[in-house]
Amino acid sequence: MIISASRRTDIPAFYSEWFMNRLRQRFVYTRNPFNNRLISKVPLSPDQTSCIVFWTKNPENFLKHLPEIDRMGHRYYFHFTLTSYNSAIERNVPKKTTVIETFKRLSDEVGKERIIWRYDPVFLTDRYDISYHLRWYEYLAKQLSGYTDKCIFSFLDMYKKCEKNLKTVHVHPLNNKYKNCLAKNFHTIAQSCSINLEACAQEECFEKVGVSQAKCIDDNLISRLNGRELSFPKDKNQRKHCTCVTSVDIGAYNTCKNFCLYCYANNSRKAVLNNIEAHNVNSPLLIGFPRAKETIIDKKIISGKGVQLQLFNKE
């Protein structure tokens, strides 16, 4: 089983104490985002998890926990998002110089193979035009050269949540000409910094300009971290052009305190603040506690071949 921590929120930045408690207890509950009464019990012991994939914009406060995670015997790697946007877009992300230094410290701690730089999502406005992105991408790539082997980028998918939050920013339409221009120049810059560039879940193919399709939950990397070849099915619950293998996400929507305007995981600031009030570091759930008569799915690995689902009701 692969644990995703998390596409829905920044666990390393804001919920590290809760996460460490879950690792020590060797299980976590996660609520089904489409059925609020359905909860999964997910094992977190190293013998039942092949890898933990962390997603973060600022893991500074998480670094202190890495030695304990290593002692537990967990395999893991990081997706670290570092973009060109300022605090008007990424409202609670520290300034770039601070985040760059955190990136380098994390790379020194875990190794550059286990830290993937994400420059996404990419979108254009009057301020954030093509020349702006290329200038900032080159600056960041030079800063991170030698600290990562890979960069993954994507263009903004304008979900309804994103459209609502970005309505005052006036995002420009991105046609294939602009996309190919950016992809080609990103690739040239990345190559000059010894960084491999990949595109995440994009309908357009950029292989003609040297950019291959990304696999963010990557069974090849996970196999290397485990020292043996592992096989996982493709994740059918992701976007159409996503090539990730299947994983279990233990986060929750409407909980990320980065408050980025392009975020697809937050409905509103009010919803996030309400959930933060319900957070308890000692709960098996990220938000609140399990309630009576909720259905819990107990996920158990059987001989490494699949997942057994055992239903029971919590009284």
Domain residue limits, the chain: 2-87+98-158+175-251+280-314
d(CA 3, CA 51): 6
Report the DSSP beta bridge partners of residue 186: none
User: Mapping DSSP to helix (H, G, I), strand (E, B) and coil, where does residue 99 land?
Assistant: helix
* DSSP strand pairing (248-249 vs 2-5): parallel
Q: What is the arithmetic mean of pLDDT over 272-289?
A: 96
User: Mapping DSSP to helix (H, G, I), strand (E, B) and coil, where does residue 235 land?
Assistant: coil
Q: Which carries the bigger pLDDT value, residue 224 or residue 168?
A: 224
Which segment of 67-76, 200-209, 293-302 scores lowest on mean pLDDT? 293-302
- In 119-244, alpha helices (H): 130-144, 160-165, 176-192, 219-226
Give pLDDT tens digits for 227-246.
Answer: 999 999 998 888 888 989 99
Asked if pLDDT for residue 299 goes beyond 80, the answer is: no
Give pLDDT tens digits for 212-225.
Answer: 999 999 999 999 99
Q: 76 in the Ramachandran plot: left (φ > 0), alpha (ψ -120 to 50) or beta? A: beta
For residue 282 the two structure tokens come to 């000692």
d(CA 2, CA 5): 10
Asked if pLDDT for residue 305 goes beyond 50, the answer is: no
Contact yes or no for 25/32 (Cβ under 8 A):
no
| Residue with tokens 């263009």, as numbered in its chain | 155
For the chain, give the mean pLDDT.
Answer: 92
Q: What is the arithmetic mean of pLDDT over 241-264?
A: 95
For residue 75 the two structure tokens come to 């395999």
Q: Enumerate residues 6+ apart whose C-beta is below 8 A from 48.
A: 1, 300, 301
**Distance, CA of 66 to chain centre:** 18
How sure is the predictor about 202, in pLDDT bands with cuts at 50, 70 and 90?
A: confident
Q: Enumerate residues 6+ apart whose C-beta is below 8 A from 129.
A: none
d(CA 41, CA 30): 7
For residue 303 the two structure tokens come to 């001989």
Give pLDDT tens digits for 79-137.
Answer: 999 999 999 999 999 999 999 999 999 999 999 999 999 999 999 999 999 999 999 99
Q: What is the arithmetic mean of pLDDT over 170-180?
A: 92
